Each structure stands twice: as C-alpha cells, then as structure tokens.
Amino acid sequence: MILNDLKYIARDLASAPKDIVGRFARVPGIRAIVRQERCTGCSACVKKSFCRFGAIKVEDKKATVDDERCRGCGRCTHLCKREAFSLEVRPPRMVTEALRRIDNGITGLMK
C-alpha cells in the first residue's frame, strides 16, 4: 500500500517542474537505496536534472545515496534505466499520513 502510493508520487515528481520538486519536504522513515548489482556506474544519476537534492554520487563505478540529503521523493526510482534505485520504507503511520499530504500537495500544484 505505502510502496504503491510512493510509486505514484515518484512518477509525478519525475516529471514535475523543479520549483515544485524543491518544495518536497523530507518524509520521515523513507530513503532511497541503490541495488548495487543493478548499477553499471553510468553516472547518469549525478547529473543535476536527476536528483534535485544532490543526494547521489558515483565512486568506483557504483552509485550511493547520501541519507542526509535524500528526501525520499522517489524520483530516482523512475529515472535510472537500470532500475537500480528503490525506496526503503519503515512504515509507521506517520509515513502514510505524510505521503497523503504530499500527494494532495502535488496534485494541487499541478492543476
């Protein structure tokens, strides 16, 4: 349920204008992780247009995510052609509520 919600939100954020994405507050309990076996080290994810928060770096041909910078928006999960990113969710109720608020906010901004 939570992961499905996240996928929809991430799909919207992947195509949303930068100023809208910039308003995305960090969601407690959610972070992006890199499935290393899928990462080819292509470095597409370190371009400015990829993660709006500069949370990704590539070293030794493997991508990693800086937990301090990552806001859990899920944009990277839609943009990596190798589908190397996934979101890790620790699902307390506050996460569900936060996602609902974000989804409502994005829907309102994109109308």
Cβ 87 to ligand SF4 shortest distance, Å: 7
What is the contact surface with ligand SF4 in residues (CB under 6 A)? 32, 34, 39-45, 51, 53, 55-56, 58, 63, 65, 70-76, 80, 82, 84-85
Contact between 37 and 62 under an 8 Å Cβ cutoff? The reply is: no
Rounded Cα gap, residues 26 and 69, in angstroms: 9
Helix (H, G, I), strand (E, B) or coil at 64: strand
Cβ 49 to ligand SF4 shortest distance, Å: 11
The structure tokens listed for 87 are: 């979101």
* Closer residue to ligand SF4 (CB): 43 or 104: 43
Cβ 77 to ligand SF4 shortest distance, Å: 7
Residue with structure tokens 């597409």? 44
